[in-house]
Homo-oligomer: A and B are copies of this chain.
Amino acid sequence: MKFIAIGELMLRLSPPNYEKIVTTHNFIVNYGGAEANVAVSLANLGVDSTFFTVLPNTDLGKSCINYLKANDVHTKHIIKSDGRMGLYYLEEGVSVRPSQVIYDRGSSAFAEYDYKDVDFENILKDYDWLHLSGITPALSYNCRRLIDKAIKAAKKLGLTVSFDPNFRSTLWSFETARDVLSRYLPYVDVLIGIEPIHVYNADGTDVKDGLTMDPSFEDMDRVFKAIDEQYHMKAIARTVRYVHSGSNNSLKAFYYADGKTYESKTLNFEIVDRVGGGDAFSSGLIYALMQNDWKHEDIVNFAVASSVMKHAIRGDTNITSVDQIKRLMNNASFDVQR
């Protein structure tokens, strides 16, 4: 199975040691972006993984490519262009203090690039799986066009398409996001997260109206079935996060496939680095789905364990192995491995 993701890769600048942006004297360098995180995490699990993006033609763009290559991600389709490096500042939360993000991704090389001459059919023809997120169409008109072209080419070529709607309120309104992203759903096979999209009841209200952040199994089952009915998915999944503090969370997930809903174990864990936790759920899910013979219970539990493991690793991505995730999923000992 050959995997490709498309999206923006940003420079991530975070103060060390849980210092604050307003008092820090230096920034730790990482790289991140929802789709790139999935590509890098999958490559670390051993999947043949490629990332497509546009990067500035400077040493900053070169650093990104080095980062991807060092993580076994193929970079041959990446375009170098004028424009700035998108970045974000991350103040890592701890204890009662939440993480805070300041985005500075406007006018980036990725957002400004004119994708009209990019031949996505030619790019995607060698791959089996395409992953996209709802962040890209929020960045610019050019990016929205990019997603249009890519998702349609993927469908035409028969790739499995996974999609994480991933709403970012600083980029666009919830209503606009719903309208735009719902148009992509007919092309999606695996849906990871259920907002912001439209799933209409007969009376025009949304199936998800009134659904809480911690829904019952019955409610979740009802919603998944409605989504499947309208959009015909191979699989749907979503996580439920219990935020006990900035340093301690619990996580579980609901997962739907073949007409049935499954609920994972709930894992409690301390947090080293919160960012990329959702993307590690995606990469875990995609990895598990690529193994054709896994049981549904194992698929969702592996995806949750993948996400939980990420929170113990610095940076945006899940630099770990399938074995380590399985150990966690199977409750093996956390004691030192000599």
Contact = CB atoms under 8 A, between A and B. Distances in A.
B62 A94 contact: no
A7 interface: no
A319 B95 contact: no
A329 to B, nearest CB: 10
Contacts of A69: 69-70, 72
Contacts of A245: 269-270, 334
Contacts of A22: 59, 62-63, 66, 319
Nearest to A100: B337
Given A243-B333, A267-B96, A337-B99, A26 B28 contact: yes
A324 interface: yes
Nearest to A15: B29
B95 A272 contact: yes
A77 interface: no
A314 interface: yes
A69 B95 CA distance: 28
A116 interface: no
A60 to B, nearest CB: 7
Copy number in the complex reads 6
Interface residues of A, number: 80
A17 interface: yes
Interface in A281-338: 308-309, 311-315, 319-320, 324, 327-328, 333-338
Interface in A123-153: none
A270 B312 CA distance: 15
Interface string A64-79: 0011011110000000
A208 interface: no
A96 B241 contact: no
Query: Which of A20, A169, A308, A312 has the most chain B CB atoms inside 10 A of its CB?
Result: A312
A221 interface: no
Nearest to A58: B102
Interface in A19-42: 19-29
A247 interface: yes
A18 B319 contact: no
Contact of A334 (B102, B246, B270, B312): B246
Nearest to A85: B104
A93 interface: yes
A212 interface: no
Contacts of A17: 16-17, 314
Q: Which 7 A-B pairs have the closest CB atoms?
A: A70-B70, A99-B336, A97-B312, A95-B312, A95-B270, A66-B70, A21-B59
10 contacts: A18-B312, A21-B59, A23-B63, A95-B312, A98-B333, A101-B336, A101-B338, A168-B338, A241-B335, A245-B334
Given A95-B272, A97-B324, A98-B336, 7 more contacts: A17-B314, A27-B27, A70-B70, A93-B312, A99-B336, A246-B334, A275-B336
